[in-house]
Structure 1
């Protein structure tokens, strides 16, 4: 999928915004990567209240326990006298004598750079970063709590900032001197609106009636917001057309942080209703062009789902005791499919590239994920038993979306696809109207008037039947030709079969299916962690650069030397040097999906209907 922070006090008073909360932060006061936060309360009627920090937030599908980063939590009355506070658990504080409560104060660590805080590392787009005088990535859920039962109260957020930093968010703000003020109708809205403060580098695009603002932070100035705008403007125009000619939001913010120091092992983004937050490797416009397009296309399409189309589990999200929906195929899978389908439809990429993506997703699905787990079951248990299967939403989930689109087109003689289905769903439901999780399949059957759709969902979404990829290709006059081979230079493994060991900051072989003939010749094993290749380091920071350098110059017959750290019986590692003559390998072509030589008229018609830019 997806920075922010809350801290410090601007004043000691307890001014409230109507009957809501007034939160004050001072970005000029950062000590040991911590922000100080003061949250002023409206009058409380209950004698005891519970202040919560999220366990999880929408779009992350991981229990992060943000309360881990909160320290020195204290409560005070109007005269500054301390009130009794009991820490119930890592995320919750109980305040006694709450009828006397005027404000609370606490400090928040940033999540990007707090190694002393134990627990699972938080994916950067869902976390926070405080770089004094340089960058403040404020995902407010990392630092701002809420009172049980008062999540719908209004919030006034006042942030004092260094004068050279500019704050950007989907929330509009007013500025007086060095103080930015943001107003949110509820805790949900504030959490859904990350804020980024950085030196001024912004660009604005008007897309019909929608204002698009882009804010970029590049530590070495390798890219500018205007360059990003140039890349995403044609993308947004294509998405507008794909969605029927009009975007469903009036304002949208792209918050982009580039990094030259990978810490968590991955890059990516997190979607919000009217914004998205990006954490990407630093590079220039040419290097990041397709990455920006692919990631932005996916995240921006989330304005449809789950913004306008979602179940009760999403519409009434519980930040501490969440219930997961069974429809990640819709929220993430169909969104991922639409992001690639749209680019091919409007000639931002080629159909050949689209089918390469389909092939890659099928291969990744087979290599990494458990085919026996029904997608609905994985979705509902993604926080527990099937946590490791979440990544399949971008593989099998996207393939389900593609297959569904072709199925709908076939059933309607080409006239109706997932674009029309999502438009109808958005009209039936909406941001403030959720569907019942266990009723969606039948609702879609009724809406499309296609009883056969019931069987599609039963077999491929609620069931675990293998996706009939070749049969779907045949519908549009294509086939998967595994006889097409290509010779490639390989380091002994498929990079898609690697994972990151966070404790050692090294890439390792995740499964036997990732090891190819060159790897077998070397003696590579599952769980081997990479140290160097032909003497050059291939740690996380240098992996791609040095791997590419070696493979460019090595020739068949040259000695290939791979140093790995191999787990041993004592729980540590043994350094092992693997050697073998370098031999290019033969594999199924990455362009194995190709059109049939003699497609039928029916196949050609369905292909044309599916590929046509409009509708």
Structure 2
């Protein structure tokens, strides 16, 4: 086995296949203890007198603005001989420069202290680099090659893991700006494992404080996921340089996240493998690797090319993220990492969230996807009403994936083969798709009536299919506890802590976020009151006198308690229901390993 599998990527062909390099970076970490990196960028082959360089505002896989410029300072700009150049600042993210000699050198300091999929983190445990959050770039050189040299901390036994192509030592290459920005890099004293699938190498890099034995156990789960996801599409993608690399950081100073990239993924968690991560981190592995097909190569036209200077909006995220979320847990079940009971139990929360959300009256799945620039790790300070108006495209698409899969299976078809057809038609050829394209492929696969009905009712509109029948086909029951009540608000120590649910008991009574409930009929509410227990002592249609305080004023209202809309999903066997041979066969085809 090679010492480091990332280091052997066709060195002999270097000069024949590399495009002209016009951007070179060097990054050093002498002041890592204070989360700083020193960076120098050299831009050459400049053919116009005035040029611009800038910091990205977005990051591949994210859709909101993140304004990475806020962590850049001590910027110094010279020509090739070290002569200072005057710069102008046309906006907060860029510099314009004149009077250069065909080369511009820029040095700056980067502050970085968030170890997730979007930002960068530098300390004495690692340099965890998301490229857009780290390096300035020159838009006019976006098509040229890029080289970057990582001056690692040898005193900390650091080494480099990245999908970038090695050149020599710790210098790496990207063939253009899009690839460079899409290439996260982990620099630390990590461990690694690898296995070969059809002539390609799957690397698992892990920076953690655990044992090699724990990594061995975890890696066996990773391998099962890779093979089950390959079975969905029939083949692995053709990875650049025949390598794919999981970049995992399970350390206390990380931030929980997962982010897909073309030939790699970031996996971060504060949970160590020994303290719950063995079970709770593995879902992100399943989700992000599925993206190697769905979103990286089965690519929405709306995200191609990815824009670094503005928010990226796509109406296809219910498919790109949502269908990936559907397969995330399904693959864990097929791989035997979770039981079938755990899988069905896990569906229940998403099912209730999507089916019972008032948000479906405002937006269909496409329009929910359009909200990504406002919800995808975006920050704002003004209150919003998203609990009533928004359904995550992850969850919405997850449940649409379930609905489509079970609807197809009722016809003797399945979602695996539909995804495979999308892969062959668009992903394998790396031809970006539209929603209309997805509709047409479903028409080709399952018939025009079926395909158009599904897209018309559930994608272009917000209807939901008859899930009780579809679940029954695979021996899963769908029931509601209609004798239970739902207050329609989150209450802690008497305080309503979130916007009340539109159309719910509390909402209809005029109660709202921030109200302090004092009495519930004759019961005084205090810190020791178990409000959920209290609510469940009543029945649907009971009317309750509620005394509450709002803005310092005591008020009264009557709350008519509505029946709970919550569903429970369970395997037939859990409810002592008989499973027919047909239902058993359908379920096996759905959940068994491929």
1:589 and 1:385 map into 2 onto residues whose CA distance is: 27
Contact 2:63 2:312 in 1 (8 A): no
Contact 1:56 1:64 in 2 (8 A): yes
Partner in structure 1 of residue 393 of structure 2: 393
**Do the aligned partners of residues 241 and 22 (structure 1) sit closer, same or farther apart at CA in structure 2, a change above 3 Å counting?**
same
Partner in structure 1 of residue 181 of structure 2: 191
Offset, 1:368: 6.6
Offset, 1:256: 1.6
1:466 and 1:443 map into 2 onto residues whose CA distance is: 20
Partner in structure 2 of residue 173 of structure 1: 166
Pairing of 1:466-545 with structure 2 (within 5 A): 466-483=464-481, 509-512=497-500, 526=513
Partner in structure 1 of residue 127 of structure 2: 136
Partner in structure 1 of residue 402 of structure 2: 402
**SS of the counterpart of 1:320?**
coil
The reply on whether 1:319 has 2:319 as its aligned counterpart is no
Contact 2:165 2:174 in 1 (8 A): no
Q: For structure 1, which runs of at least 5 residues remain unmatched after alignment?
A: 1-15, 113-122, 487-491, 500-506, 530-549, 551-555, 558-565, 571-585
Partner in structure 2 of residue 375 of structure 1: 365
Contact 1:218 1:282 in 2 (8 A): no
1:385 and 1:277 map into 2 onto residues whose CA distance is: 20
Offset, 1:384: 4.3
1:601 and 1:230 map into 2 onto residues whose CA distance is: 33
Contact 2:418 2:442 in 1 (8 A): no
Residue 434 of structure 1, aligned match among 425, 431, 434: 431
1:223 and 1:341 map into 2 onto residues whose CA distance is: 27
1:381-415 deviation line (CA, Å, top 9, x unaligned): 421499757771221110111111222233xx32x
1:283-321 deviation line (CA, Å, top 9, x unaligned): 334621222221100001000111211122222111113
1:204 and 1:438 map into 2 onto residues whose CA distance is: 37
**SS of the counterpart of 2:29?**
strand
Offset, 1:217: 2.4
RMSD, aligned CA: 4.3
Offset, 1:374: 0.7
**Do the aligned partners of residues 342 and 143 (structure 1) sit closer, same or farther apart at CA in structure 2, a change above 3 Å counting?**
same
Partner in structure 2 of residue 102 of structure 1: 104
1:214-243 deviation line (CA, Å, top 9, x unaligned): 222235779854343233222223223333
Residue 245 of structure 2, aligned match among 228, 250, 253: 253
The reply on whether 1:418 has 2:415 as its aligned counterpart is yes
**SS of the counterpart of 2:109?**
strand
Partner in structure 2 of residue 462 of structure 1: 460
Contact 1:25 1:160 in 2 (8 A): yes
Contact 2:44 2:102 in 1 (8 A): no
Partner in structure 2 of residue 288 of structure 1: 277
Residue 226 of structure 2, aligned match among 236, 240, 247: 236
Partner in structure 2 of residue 502 of structure 1: none
Q: For structure 2, which runs of at least 5 residues remain unmatched after alignment?
A: 1-17, 379-385, 517-527, 535-547, 553-563
**Do the aligned partners of residues 383 and 223 (structure 1) sit closer, same or farther apart at CA in structure 2, a change above 3 Å counting?**
farther
Partner in structure 2 of residue 146 of structure 1: 137
2:246 and 2:133 map into 1 onto residues whose CA distance is: 19
Residue 267 of structure 1, aligned match among 256, 262, 282: 256
**SS of the counterpart of 1:330?**
helix
Offset, 1:160: 0.9
Q: How many residues align?
A: 522
Contact 2:118 2:130 in 1 (8 A): yes
1:498 and 1:187 map into 2 onto residues whose CA distance is: 49
102-111 or 398-407: bigger deviation: 102-111
1:248 and 1:477 map into 2 onto residues whose CA distance is: 38
**Do the aligned partners of residues 166 and 510 (structure 1) sit closer, same or farther apart at CA in structure 2, a change above 3 Å counting?**
farther
Contact 1:222 1:284 in 2 (8 A): no
**SS of the counterpart of 1:459?**
helix
1:528 and 1:201 map into 2 onto residues whose CA distance is: 52
**Do the aligned partners of residues 567 and 89 (structure 1) sit closer, same or farther apart at CA in structure 2, a change above 3 Å counting?**
farther
Contact 2:190 2:208 in 1 (8 A): no
**SS of the counterpart of 2:206?**
strand
The reply on whether 1:23 has 2:14 as its aligned counterpart is no
1:218 and 1:139 map into 2 onto residues whose CA distance is: 19
**Do the aligned partners of residues 419 and 385 (structure 1) sit closer, same or farther apart at CA in structure 2, a change above 3 Å counting?**
closer
Pairing of 1:58-97 with structure 2 (within 5 A): 58-97=60-99
TM-score by length of structure 1 reads: 0.74
Residue 203 of structure 2, aligned match among 198, 213, 219: 213
101-110 or 183-192: bigger deviation: 101-110
2:590 and 2:281 map into 1 onto residues whose CA distance is: 25
TM-score by length of structure 2 reads: 0.76
Partner in structure 2 of residue 553 of structure 1: none
1:20 and 1:125 map into 2 onto residues whose CA distance is: 27
1:162 and 1:77 map into 2 onto residues whose CA distance is: 29
Residue 204 of structure 1, aligned match among 169, 180, 194: 194
2:474 and 2:171 map into 1 onto residues whose CA distance is: 54
**SS of the counterpart of 2:373?**
coil
**Do the aligned partners of residues 508 and 81 (structure 1) sit closer, same or farther apart at CA in structure 2, a change above 3 Å counting?**
farther
Contact 1:315 1:432 in 2 (8 A): no
Contact 2:188 2:207 in 1 (8 A): yes
